[in-house]
Amino acid sequence: MNILVVDDDMIIRMVLSKYFKGKNFDVTISENGEDAYNQFLDSQDTFDIIITDIMMPIMNGIELAKKIKEKQPNLPIIAITAGDLDQIKGFEQFFEEIFNKPIELAKLHQVVIQLNPNGTIQYPSDKPHIF
């Protein structure tokens, strides 16, 4: 499985990259939404899941998710944020799951595993869960 990790915080990028590489995932990292979107366009159909921060310079995670869903609506996107969840209100449909920082890596890993190739979660609700 190939994961694109997007966060302006280098430590978060490195922790997530090291964690998922240690679980035998292929990981690509990006520091902002614009760079991530360009990586997505350059390698469309390569990424199986995207994990993105919400608050980032240049292009935030909501804008990134909107643009990606226009091109590939079934690609699962997980939001991670240290900010107030009110910033995501009205945009939940672009994310399969939402995690508050600090992230519990084992729970994030479990959600990544539970994502199906068609982008749905094996949960009873179709609303994103907030962890």
Examine the pLDDT at 120 and tell me if it is beyond 50: no
**Segments forming the whole domain that contains residue 67:** 2-130
| Spatial CB neighbours of 72, under 8 Å, sequence gap ≥ 6 | 44, 45
Beta-bridge partner residues of 78:
51, 97
The percent of residues above 70 in pLDDT, for the chain, comes to 82
The tally of domains found in the chain comes to: 1
Greatest Cα-to-Cα distance within the chain, rounded to the nearest angstrom:
36
Listing DSSP states for 57-77 in one string gives: SSS-HHHHHHHHHHH-TTS-E
CA-based end-to-end distance of the chain: 22
CA 106 vs. chain centroid, Å, equals 15
Residue 129: band (very low, low, confident or very high) from pLDDT cuts 50, 70, 90: low
Residue 130: band (very low, low, confident or very high) from pLDDT cuts 50, 70, 90: low
User: CATH number for the domain including 43?
Assistant: 3.40.50.2300
| Residues 29-82: tens digit of each pLDDT | 999 999 999 999 998 678 999 999 999 999 999 999 999 999 999 999 999 998
